[in-house]
């Protein structure tokens, strides 16, 4: 569902993404770890078609993103660190608007069902988004992905700023989507959440993918050591 083939982005002499190769299948969650500037967000922007690659290709559902930017967006949902919703509209109204853009005309009861499935409490369905916490807004984002019937989900630091309860709830929602066959790519700094939800984990530094793991093959402490070693933080490892 999500493939990058030697994907490279360069600005002049500065290479911000260097020959990235990913293959994320339906029902997999791939977490990209790395410091700011590692290339995580650039990767997501290339998959969204917001940027054009200097070399290589990105594919969504078998389609070259650079050549089929509008078409690939039909299969995608995107939740950034700060999800942009209309604050004066309610959760139902936002969901109705964004699902309409995706070509789906849903009844009120269907919209409410998607919000329920995304874990939003019923009492918030008809409240304005301006009153929502970040965790509640992220649930609306998941509802949009569900309503859109997205086959691929791109996440950029989605748990940043969430309290532990909200972060755990978000992780459970990702597990549900994985069970429905959605391919998920999540850029994150959260090693704990990555270990909890990921099927595969990659560690990036300076635009290059330095290490890859099957999540079940290592413990959280082993992941932490690998991350710190990759970042050259060896002096912090006891």
2-236: in CATH 3.40.50.720: no
Q: Where are the alpha helices (DSSP H) in the chain?
A: 40-48, 69-72, 91-101, 108-117, 134-148, 164-179, 191-197, 220-230
Q: How far apart are CA 198 and CA 25, in angstroms?
A: 13
Average pLDDT, the chain: 91
Task: Say which residues have a Cβ less than 8 Å from residue 16's Cβ, sequence separation at least 6.
Answer: 9, 10, 37, 39, 42, 207
51-68 average pLDDT score: 95
23 membership: H or E segment, kind and range: strand 14-24
159-195 pLDDT, tens digit each: 887 888 888 888 888 998 999 999 999 999 889 999 9
The gap between the terminal CA atoms of the chain, to the nearest Å, is 39
158 membership: H or E segment, kind and range: none
Q: How far apart are CA 216 and CA 165, in angstroms?
A: 23
More confident residue, 26 or 236: 26
Model pTM greater than 0.75? Answer: yes
12-24 pLDDT, tens digit each: 999 999 999 999 9
Instruction: Find out whether 57 and 66 touch, Cβ atoms under 8 Å.
Output: yes
Q: How far apart are CA 177 and CA 139, in angstroms?
A: 12
Percent of the chain with pLDDT over 90: 68
204-225 pLDDT, tens digit each: 999 999 999 999 999 999 999 9
Task: Say which residues have a Cβ less than 8 Å from residue 135's Cβ, sequence separation at least 6.
Answer: 162, 163, 166, 167, 169, 170
Q: Is 128 helix (H, G, I), strand (E, B) or coil?
A: strand
Identify the DSSP state of 123: G
Q: How far apart are CA 212 and CA 38, in angstroms?
A: 15
Q: Given pLDDT bands bounded at 50, 70 and 90, which one contains residue 233?
A: low
């Amino acid at each position: 569902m999500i493939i990058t083939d030697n994907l490279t982005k360069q600005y002049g002499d500065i290479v911000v993404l260097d020959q990235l190769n990913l293959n994320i299948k339906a029902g997999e969650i791939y977490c990209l770890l790395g410091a700011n500037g590692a290339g995580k967000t650039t990767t997501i922007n290339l998959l969204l078609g917001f940027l054009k690659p200097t070399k290589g290709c990105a594919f969504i559902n078998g389609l070259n993103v650079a050549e089929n930017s509008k078409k690939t967006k039909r299969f995608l949902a995107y939740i950034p660190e700060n999800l942009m919703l209309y604050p004066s509209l309610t959760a139902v109204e936002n969901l109705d608007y964004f699902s309409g853009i995706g070509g789906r005309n849903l009844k009120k009861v269907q919209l409410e069902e998607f919000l329920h499935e995304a874990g939003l409490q019923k009492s918030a369905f008809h409240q304005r988004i301006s009153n929502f916490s970040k965790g509640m807004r992220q649930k609306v984002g998941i509802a949009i992905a569900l309503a859109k019937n997205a086959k691929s989900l791109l996440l950029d630091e989605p748990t940043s700023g969430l309290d532990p309860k909200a972060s755990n709830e978000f992780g459970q929602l990702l597990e549900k989507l994985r069970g429905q066959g959605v391919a998920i790519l999540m850029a994150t700094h959260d090693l704990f959440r990555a270990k909890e939800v990921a099927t595969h984990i990659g560690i990036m530094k300076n635009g290059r993918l330095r290490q890859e793991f099957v999540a079940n093959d290592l413990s959280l402490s082993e992941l932490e050591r690998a991350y710190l070693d990759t970042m050259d933080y060896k002096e912090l490892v006891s």
